[in-house]
Amino acid sequence: MFQVNFRRKLLIWQSEALFFFEIIQMKVIFSILLLASAIPIFAQTDTVVTFYDREGKICPEDNAVKFSLRVKESDRYKKLMVDAMDNKVGSIAYFVDAECKTFDGPYREIYKNGRTRTSGYYSQNKKINNWRTWSDDGVLTDSFFYKDGYINGIGLSWNKEGVVIDSLIFEEGGKGISHGYWSNGNPSQRGEYINGKKDGLWTYCYVTGKKCQEVNYVADSAVSFTCYDEKEAVQKDNCIYEKEASFPGGDKKWKQYLESKLGSARLPDDFYNGKIYGEVWVQFVVDVDGSITDAKVIQSVNPSLDAIALNIFKASPKWQHAVQYNRPVKAYRRQPITFGRVGN
């Protein structure tokens, strides 16, 4: 950890003033804020910045992809996780300890576009009261009430069309029942919770409503499972509990594909002149048929470089789709494309 420098202090003050909104970065605005906020900036005490690499390990600033800002506020510590590439706040949380291990107070995660991803409240590391989750376009997708760290009462999840896809009913102490649904209204899953964890026999279904897998759980751990085909006959071969989506040939071949496409791309003159460079982050979905869909830039460098990165993903050969509970499922991925600075 390093003592926070003046630029980071200014960032802290801005995040305080703008709360959960995107940090303003224009130089003119920085100058105005500097004059208007000199006293509150330097009045901060016990303010520390820590830099992290891609693996989440502490590192020097030059190697950081994220950094945290810890600010002492009264009897608690406020911690902001920030993207080192664009200085956008990803989450804000409060803790009772300087090591930031015990959550206590409001918690919020934020999308790149400034919208709230998750909002809730902790008390001594336990979730309490209302917790909600939204999609990046502002659609409510989850709403749960917590008591003493467990869901209490009725909790619901929706898809983007507003259709209920999961219904939870919990007693105090984490005992509850889950009923999941496909968008067409057919059941997708059902099972019970003990102490807030999956326990006993859970049944998962195809989109037709017929069961595809039965799983026996003990405290969230799958101890055994049985697969069924589309006619609900026991399936002995290729019975899969979970499998990640993968590129044909694995990560090595995926890296070769990205390098090959990037190497053959016609880059703009401003790149070769060293004027534009950096990491473009692309989010994409590996669909149930293995094709890449819904690819979009979530961290931009320049419109020209963004478009090149996006086209690389859209041109990708089909992947091997993900599997969960013996049925194909969509897999969500994020991937950076690095355009190194020419001349360095």
Q: Would you give per-residue pLDDT tens digits along the chain (344 residues)?
A: 444 443 444 444 444 343 333 333 323 323 323 333 333 333 445 689 999 988 889 999 988 889 999 999 989 999 999 998 788 999 999 999 999 999 999 999 999 889 999 999 999 999 999 999 999 899 999 999 999 999 999 999 999 889 999 999 999 999 999 999 999 999 999 999 999 999 999 999 999 999 999 999 999 999 999 999 999 999 989 999 999 999 999 999 999 999 999 999 999 999 988 888 888 999 999 999 999 999 999 888 899 999 999 999 999 999 999 999 999 999 999 999 998 887 65
pLDDT for the residue 22: 34
pLDDT of residue 257: 96
Which fold is adopted by the domain 251-339? 3.30.1150
* CA 305 from centroid of its chain's CA atoms: 24
Distance CA 136, CA 269 (A): 34
Distances from the Cα of 279 to the Cαs of 84, 300, 306, 336, 337, in angstroms? 11, 8, 9, 6, 6
Tokens of 12: 């802290």
Task: Return the domain boundaries, the chain.
Answer: 1-101, 139-239, 251-339
- Domain covering 139-239, topology: Outer Surface Protein A; domain 3 (3.90.930)
CA 222 to chain centre: 24
pLDDT for residue 180: 97
Q: For residue 131, what are its two tokens?
A: 């917790």
DSSP-based three-state secondary structure for 107: strand
Give the other-Cβ count within 10 Å of 198's Cβ: 19
